[in-house]
């Protein structure tokens, strides 16, 4: 059952949960237009889970989840409740400042690949929800390509790639500017998105 609407209205430009099927279709169309036929999706938990669920349906493939964390960096998690009550203009300003100053640019990512190597010798579409600095998707791509059983080919896809550094490592994207996603800490749909995380798990490859 959907959560009650927040007292703060959804801002213009925010991505809504109801938009995800159409956005996934558009992203899948860009993948197909490039003549790339993924055999499996590898996606970054948990931000890319709902997008991947839709992409699996569009592309007719299964998926594998990977984790890419910033070790010892719990700041974002701690500040999430605060972000939900800050004025929207301030949250948007903080996002732009984070991108401009490259706050996460020098922070290493710890990539955890699951056992089994379902991507071995297969065409892989690596999916994340958004790329700000490009560090996360680059780290996962390098981990996949450098493992004992690498994919035969690999392309990357996100909803938004918002900096030149991100655009350099992303193959397919829809937005080149920052948009609040349903699972963002300041989205009015965050609780509903978290509920859907539990029921819309991409089919496992």
> What domain range includes position 75?
17-199
Burial class of residue 78, CB neighbours in 10 A (0-12, 13-18, 19+) = exposed
pLDDT in tens, 35-54: 999 999 999 999 999 999 99
Q: Is residue 95 one of the residues assigned to a domain? A: yes
Burial class of residue 86, CB neighbours in 10 A (0-12, 13-18, 19+) = middle
CATH number at residue 139: 3.40.50.2020
Residue 160 binned pLDDT confidence (cut-offs 50, 70, 90): very high
Q: What is the mean pLDDT of residues 142-154?
A: 96
Q: Is residue 169 one of the residues assigned to a domain? A: yes
Structural domains counted in the chain = 1
Percent of the chain with pLDDT over 70: 75
Q: Is residue 175 one of the residues assigned to a domain? A: yes
3-class DSSP state of 44: strand
Q: Is residue 40 one of the residues assigned to a domain? A: yes
CA pair distance 113, 12, nearest whole angstrom: 37
Q: Is residue 4 one of the residues assigned to a domain? A: no
Q: Is residue 204 one of the residues assigned to a domain? A: no
pLDDT in tens, 179-199: 999 999 889 999 999 999 999
Which residues are CB-neighbours of 175 under 8 A, at least 6 positions away?
159, 160, 161, 162
Q: Is residue 10 one of the residues assigned to a domain? A: no
Q: What is the pLDDT of residue 203?
A: 97
**Phi then psi for 158, rounded to 5 degrees?**
-145, 165
Q: Is residue 9 one of the residues assigned to a domain? A: no
Q: Is the pTM of this model over 0.85?
A: no
């Amino acid at each position: 059952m959907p959560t009650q609407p927040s007292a703060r209205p959804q801002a213009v430009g925010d991505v809504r949960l109801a938009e995800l099927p159409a956005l996934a279709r558009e992203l899948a169309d860009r993948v197909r237009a490039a003549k790339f036929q993924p055999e499996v999706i590898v996606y970054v938990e948990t931000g890319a889970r709902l997008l991947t669920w839709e992409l699996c349906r569009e592309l007719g493939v299964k998926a594998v989840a990977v984790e890419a964390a910033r070790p010892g960096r719990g700041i974002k998690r701690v500040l999430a409740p605060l972000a939900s009550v800050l004025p929207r203009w301030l949250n948007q300003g903080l996002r732009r400042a984070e991108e401009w100053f490259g706050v996460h640019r020098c922070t290493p990512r710890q990539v955890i690949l699951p056992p089994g190597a379902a991507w071995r010798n297969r065409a892989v579409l690596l999916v994340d929800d958004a790329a700000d600095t490009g560090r996360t998707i680059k780290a996962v791509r390098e981990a996949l390509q450098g493992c004992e059983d690498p994919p035969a080919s690999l392309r990357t896809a996100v909803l938004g790639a918002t900096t030149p550094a991100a655009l350099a490592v992303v193959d397919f994207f829809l937005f080149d500017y920052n948009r609040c996603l349903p699972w963002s800490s300041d989205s009015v749909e965050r609780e509903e998105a978290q509920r859907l995380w539990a029921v819309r798990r991409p089919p496992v490859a």
